[in-house]
Amino acid sequence: MRSNKQTGQPGDNAIQTGNGSGLFEPAPTTTPAVVVTGGSKGIGRAIAKEFLVKGHSVVLVARNADRLEQVAAELRDFLPARRQLEVFAVDVTRDDSYALLGQHLAERGLHTDVLVNNAGLGLGGPFFEQSSDDLDRLIALNVGALTRWTRLAMSEMIGRGRGHIINMASLGGYAPGPNQAAYYASKAYVISLSEALSAEAVGTGVRVSVTAPGPVETGFHATMEADQSFYRYLVPSLSPERVAKSVYGGYRFGSRVIIPGLINRLLSIFMRILPHPILVPLVGWLLAQRGRS
Ligand SMILES: NC(=O)c1ccc[n+]([C@@H]2O[C@H](COP(=O)([O-])OP(=O)(O)OC[C@H]3O[C@@H](n4cnc5c(N)ncnc54)[C@H](OP(=O)(O)O)[C@@H]3O)[C@@H](O)[C@H]2O)c1
């Protein structure tokens, strides 16, 4: 796999990595980088670009290497001086994926200072019609990989006394979601886990945030055959760039929960106070697939 390393110069915040070096042998330094899973498309690509524009070294992670290279080539115009833009093609659901990332970064003089666990997939339609394989894939990515990457990154960051993990949930994580039941449940898990870890991380120098966007204009909804669903017409969508700006603002501010857009913030309150006998059928009506092929 190719990479897009621009320079080998460490950034301003480079840190020492202890590898047993003696007095006369300076320890190698690594440069902090922002690692974005699902960085080749949609929201992940926009978040990667936002961090790049704001002066960070960035590593894009996704499975499709060609697509990663293409996106890196597009983003290279925004690469600041003395920063690196790298790609790493891996399926994050692989047990050894985080270790492979660590190796890839170390070879390029980088370490994970900010991890954006963005890669995720949705499944639309009645739960009983979904295949067990599709459900397993959703849980493996939205829950399994995110949990493993969060734990490994968090322990590494706590050892270093600094770092930030931003987990991608969804506004859907605030309600049960008939017709996207497993997807909504997976995002409820992400919100719960991340808020709990945010509290556990207090005093360690590490931050854990969760972001919960409402609908965003990406190919995500079409993949779920949800483009005709009522929520696509009734709940305003944001652009990936708008979401990325909110995520970056939340990162700078150290926000525990980042909900992009005023309407989505109001909806999140509404979803938490509306009694479930009213909320759940309403959400199910909004999510029902219409005009399925
Ligand atoms: N779009 C929305 O309305 C919306 C709203 C709220 C939250 N979200 C959440 O935001 C995140 C991104 O959504 P999106 O709309 O930008 O999705 P998207 O356009 O479908 O992009 C998904 C990204 O994840 C990567 N990916 C998928 N499976 C992977 C795996 N196993 N290992 C590594 N990378 C993988 C994909 O690249 P490869 O296929 O090459 O791996 C791609 O880069 C998801 O977690 C989603 O649940 C989306």
Identify the residue whose C-alpha is closest to ligand 1 atom 42: 38
Residue type, 75: L
Ligand 1 centre to CA of 238 (Å) is 16
How many angstroms is it from 161 CA to the middle of ligand 1? 30
State CA 237 to chain mean position distance: 18
Q: Spelled out in words, what is the top-level CATH class assigned to the domain 31-287?
A: alpha beta
Q: Report whether pLDDT(225) > 70.
A: yes
What does each C-alpha distance from 196 to 108, 178, 189 come to in angstroms?
A: 33, 26, 11
Q: Taking CB atoms and a 6 Å cutoff, what residues make up the pocket around ligand 1?
A: 37-38, 40-44, 62-64, 67, 91-93, 118-122, 141, 168, 170, 213, 215-216, 218-220
Ligand 1 atom at minimal distance to the Cα of residue 93: 31
**Ligand 1 atom at minimal distance to the Cα of residue 40:** 43
- Whether residue 276 has pLDDT greater than 60: yes
Number of Cβ within a 10 Å radius of residue 123: 23
- C-alpha 8 to ligand 1 mean position (Å): 30
Ligand 1, atom 20, lies closest to the CA of 220
Ligand 1, atom 43: closest residue by C-alpha: 38
C-alpha 183/C-alpha 179 separation (Å) is: 9
pLDDT greater at residue 75 or residue 8: 75
Whether the pLDDT of residue 34 is over 80: the answer is yes
- C-alpha pair distances (Å), 233 with each of 117, 225, 229, 230, 236: 28, 14, 7, 5, 7
Hey, is 34 helix, strand or coil?
Answer: strand
pLDDT in tens, 184-213: 999 999 999 999 999 999 999 999 999 999
Task: Give the position, in ligand 1's atom list, of the atom nearest the Cα of 213.
Answer: 6
* DSSP letter, residue 24: T
Q: How far is the CA of 153 from the centre of ligand 1 (A)?
A: 20
Tracing tokens 């997807």 back to the chain, one arrives at 183
In this prediction, residue 104 has a pLDDT band, given cuts at 50, 70 and 90, of very high
Q: Which of 75, 133, 216 to mutate to test the pocket of ligand 1 (most atoms within 8 A of CB)?
A: 216
In sequence order, the β-bridge partners of residue 211 are: 168, 258
Best CA proximity match to 157, nearest among 193, 197, 114:
114
Alpha helices, H only, 139-256: 146-160, 181-200, 220-223, 230-234, 240-253
Alpha-carbon distances, residue 202 vs 11, 153, 158, 254, 256 (angstroms) = 26, 16, 11, 12, 11
Measured CA to CA, the distance from residue 270 to residue 291 in angstroms comes to: 29
Say what the alpha-carbon torsion angle 43, 47, 52, 53 is, to the nearest 10 degrees: 90
Angle at the Cα of 181 from the Cα atoms of 179 and 187, rounded to 5 degrees? 130
Catalytic residue numbers read 183
- Neighbouring-strand partners of residue 164: 114, 207
For residue 1, pLDDT over 80 is answered with no
Q: Which residues, 6 or more positions from 253, have their beta carbon under 8 angstroms from its beta carbon? A: none
Q: What is the DSSP string of 250-266?
A: HHHHT-SEE--SHHHHH
**pTM for the full predicted model:** 0.92
Q: What is the mean pLDDT of residues 148-154?
A: 98
pLDDT at 57 over 70: yes
Atom of ligand 1 nearest to the CA of 63: 41
275 CA to middle of ligand 1, Å?
A: 31
